[in-house]
Structure 1
Amino acid sequence: MLSAVCRSADLTLNDDGAQLFAQALDEGTCGRLETALVALPTSRPGVRIGEGRQLRPFLGNAGPIGVIAVSALGEQARPVRAILFDKTAERNWALGWHQDRTIVVEERIDTEGYGPWTVKSGLIQVEPPFEILERMVTLRVHLDAIDERNAPLRIVPGSHRLGRLPEAEIGRVVTTLGERLCLAERGDVWLYATSIVHASLAADPPRRRRVLQIDFSADATPGPLAWRGV
């Protein structure tokens, strides 16, 4: 099924697993967010943010990003992982169809139903029971405009309701449900169900595309473990 472009209100979080909050950040807020991110390294495709104190004014419940998570999860929403994706002509990558399946926790405690475990950028990650991910949302904050050729996120509407999909089944789901391209202007925020099937193409031609991605959860703890937090 052919891709359809989406930068409108025709997708909703409940029905489709994605929703656009257009111009959620004004130009001044975008500038302050850029300043908060400027010290991060730029040598890797995705920079995992372990200590995000400078981001807390943006991610707290009253902040311009956190308030969107609250609208989906309620007042208990908290940021539990943040990654800065900074595509440039030198760092331009594609990512195939997949579901996000890991969370970041404070320490490793071997527990039934949790695993495998990995460590990335010094952060402990584990695959939890999938229902934890199904209760989470992911926000993507756009610091650069994204058109059809500047690596928009590709999503499969409705796939967030299908549970944990075997990797061999994901291609069939994409073919059956179709995909949408999520375009954005600077300052837009896309809200997604964390469990949605998604992918990304490389930019063509290569150019800058900065996206701050934050996972939020309303669970006090991920089962017997503790969130690492942001």
Structure 2
Amino acid sequence: MDFAVNKNEIENNGFTVLNNIYTKQETEDIAAIINSTKNTGDTFRKSKDLFAIRQFLKEIPDVQPLVFNGKLKTIISALFGNDYFSIKSIYFDKPGNSNWFVAYHQDLTISVDKKTEIENFGPWTVKQNQFAVQPPIEILENIFTIRIHLDDTDENNGALKVIPESHLKKIYRPETIDWNTEKEATCNVDKGGVMIMKPLILHSSARTVNNSNRRVIHIEFSNMELPKEIKWAEKLNVN
């Protein structure tokens, strides 16, 4: 397959969508493994509006060979090369009656193994015993995110909305968005499809209005090493 169009979209717009990456059976097999996992512990979060698993690939290693199937590996290699590894993974299940939404933001932090003083790294946060820090901009610019969809997703059940080209503006505070010049795009993705995006693109997610679930596996990748004082919290080679 020729991914030139997708590569151009990522570089210029900050995102692209590719459908038919997983078969219906593959998505169901992934979901079955998730559903059979005990959802207890610090990395699991469950409420009426959201079920989430942080450090997803570490918590449920049995999904790894299914997630990184031949098609996904080909896409990663064609778009980014063979030296990228995953650095963060989260599973979201947004129920059909969910009122949970996320306002416009950029993904500005990385997950690391510990907190320590490093020049140009900060501020720091901790969620469920996981350290996160905002790194220098060149590290953020190097990262790409793949969102694997286990359900058909559109504007009615919380598909991501993005502002194309906003990833090119470095740190872009959402309160400064000028809607006279910016435009919004909704990233509809079929079940078994993926959305690939740069974490600096401004993105948001609306409430669900059609009683349809939205299950997504969110995986971030980099090929950069961190300063010797810290390590990626979830580094996993995928080749």
- TM-score normalised by L of structure 1: 0.85
Structure 1 residues 125 and 63 mapped into 2: Cα distance closer, same or farther (>3 Å)? farther
Q: How many residues are aligned here?
A: 219
Post-superposition CA distance 1:180-201 (Å, at most 9, x none) = 0011111010111121110010
How far is 1:208 from its partner?
1.1
| 1:56 matched residue in structure 2 | 64
Instruction: Find the residue that maps to 1:138 and give its secondary structure.
Output: strand
1:192 to 192, 197, 201: 197
How far is 1:59 from its partner?
5.1
Instruction: Say whether residues 1:140 and 2:147 are aligned partners.
Output: yes
Instruction: Find the residue that maps to 1:65 and give its secondary structure.
Output: helix
Instruction: Find the residue that maps to 1:177 and give its secondary structure.
Output: coil
Aligned equivalents of 1:64, 1:36: Cα separation in 2: 20
How far is 1:138 from its partner?
0.5
Structure 1 residues 209 and 175 mapped into 2: Cα distance closer, same or farther (>3 Å)? farther
How far is 1:42 from its partner?
6.0
Aligned equivalents of 2:125, 2:100: Cα separation in 1: 22
Instruction: Find the residue that maps to 2:121 and give its secondary structure.
Output: coil
Instruction: Find the residue that maps to 2:32 and give its secondary structure.
Output: helix
How far is 1:65 from its partner?
3.3
Aligned equivalents of 2:201, 2:210: Cα separation in 1: 27
8 Å contact from structure 1 (residues 59, 66) kept in 2? no
Aligned equivalents of 2:99, 2:137: Cα separation in 1: 30
Structure 2: tracts of 5 or more residues without a match: none
Root mean square deviation of aligned Cα? 2.4
8 Å contact from structure 1 (residues 157, 179) kept in 2? yes
Aligned equivalents of 1:217, 1:96: Cα separation in 2: 25
How far is 1:139 from its partner?
0.6
Letter in 2 for 1:135: N
Structure 1 residues 99 and 175 mapped into 2: Cα distance closer, same or farther (>3 Å)? farther
Post-superposition CA distance 1:165-189 (Å, at most 9, x none) = 23432x22x5422010011111010
Deviation beyond 4 Å, 4+ runs, structure 1:
none
Post-superposition CA distance 1:21-53 (Å, at most 9, x none) = 111111222122213322245615332125242
Structure 1 residues 118 and 100 mapped into 2: Cα distance closer, same or farther (>3 Å)? same
Identity of aligned residues (%): 27
- TM-score normalised by L of structure 2: 0.82
Instruction: Say whether residues 1:176 and 2:181 are aligned partners.
Output: yes
